[in-house]
């Protein structure tokens, strides 16, 4: 038998923020990708395995045993068909070294108010020479979608459909993760720090310490350019509990609140003291 040709399409969609309910929608999107196969498998199976007749009320004990055997065989055959479709999911909590694994429907019941550090979900179909696999990995570095299979048209269309669905979950701070967004955030931080330091120095009646001002500017660039700082402020992936809000939204509110409090103070100081 000739070797199978497997086509792989991997895509990264950055960033993503969503609740546990949004993860369920992603899992549903995966299921839709296999809907045609499920319908075809079910149709073929029903044609080859008609529903066995139930024993009549006046059937003998042997006929009832035979009827129960046929019913169980019919159910086992159906489960064997379902085994061609697999569903796997695992996640790790942010504040506890606990990893949970199983199907998404099974572990979704255990999702609680704790934040999730990383999550992996996948659905697959294997039969004879037909292979289909869809997976998504949600980690601090972003979301990576991988689609592979023996049908190139299905692989490309499925990867595009999942990518479009995940891009709907881009948070409001997504522009800050782009190169120009990072630059603007650094300039804003430097401007605020420089203005506050300048007015504080002037208020103390001393000359402006240019070396201190330059140091503050460099520190601001380092803070805003540090991956850990930016990951805390605007995470690339943020999975939160239903009814909560993204951590990035909370952190931006804190920073913007501090800036909103500092700038008016500087402007008032300029108006009063010139």
Record the pTM: 0.71
The C-alpha atoms of residue 225 and residue 186 are separated, in whole angstroms, by 7
pLDDT of residue 198: 65
pLDDT of residue 149: 92
Q: Could you give the 3-state DSSP secondary structure of residue 128?
A: coil
> Are the CB atoms for 233 and 255 separated by under 8 Å?
yes
pLDDT of residue 262: 62
pLDDT of residue 1: 47
pLDDT of residue 12: 84
Supply the angle between the helices 179-203 and 247-273 in degrees, to the nearest 10: 40
pLDDT of residue 52: 73
Q: Could you give the 3-state DSSP secondary structure of residue 150?
A: coil
Residue numbers of the chain with a pLDDT score lower than 50? 1
The C-alpha atoms of residue 265 and residue 274 are separated, in whole angstroms, by 13
């Amino acid at each position: 038998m000739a070797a199978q040709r497997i086509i792989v399409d991997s895509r990264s969609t950055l960033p993503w923020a969503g609740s546990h309910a949004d993860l369920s929608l992603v899992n549903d999107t995966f299921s839709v990708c296999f809907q045609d196969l499920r319908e075809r498998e079910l149709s073929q199976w029903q044609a080859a395995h008609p529903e066995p007749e139930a024993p009549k009320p006046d059937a003998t004990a042997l006929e009832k045993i035979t009827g129960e055997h046929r019913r169980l065989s019919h159910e086992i055959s159906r489960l064997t068909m379902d085994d061609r479709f697999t569903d796997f999911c695992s996640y790790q909590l942010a504040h506890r070294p606990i990893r949970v694994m199983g199907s998404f429907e099974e572990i979704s019941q255990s999702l609680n108010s704790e934040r999730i550090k990383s999550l992996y979900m996948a659905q697959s179909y294997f039969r004879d020479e037909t292979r289909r696999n869809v997976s998504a990995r949600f980690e601090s570095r972003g979301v990576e979608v991988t689609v592979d299979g023996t049908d190139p048209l299905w692989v490309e269309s499925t990867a595009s459909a999942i990518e479009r669905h995940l891009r709907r979950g881009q948070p409001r701070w997504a522009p800050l993760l782009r190169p120009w967004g990072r630059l603007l955030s650094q300039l804003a931080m430097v401007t605020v720090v420089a203005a506050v330091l300048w007015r504080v120095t002037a208020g103390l009646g001393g000359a402006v310490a240019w070396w201190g001002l330059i140091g503050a500017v460099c520190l601001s660039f380092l803070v805003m350019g540090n991956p850990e700082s930016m990951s805390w402020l605007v995470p690339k992936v943020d999975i939160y509990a239903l009814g909560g809000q993204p951590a990035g939204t909370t952190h931006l509110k804190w920073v913007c609140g501090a800036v909103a409090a500092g700038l008016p103070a500087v402007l008032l100081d300029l108006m009063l003291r010139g």
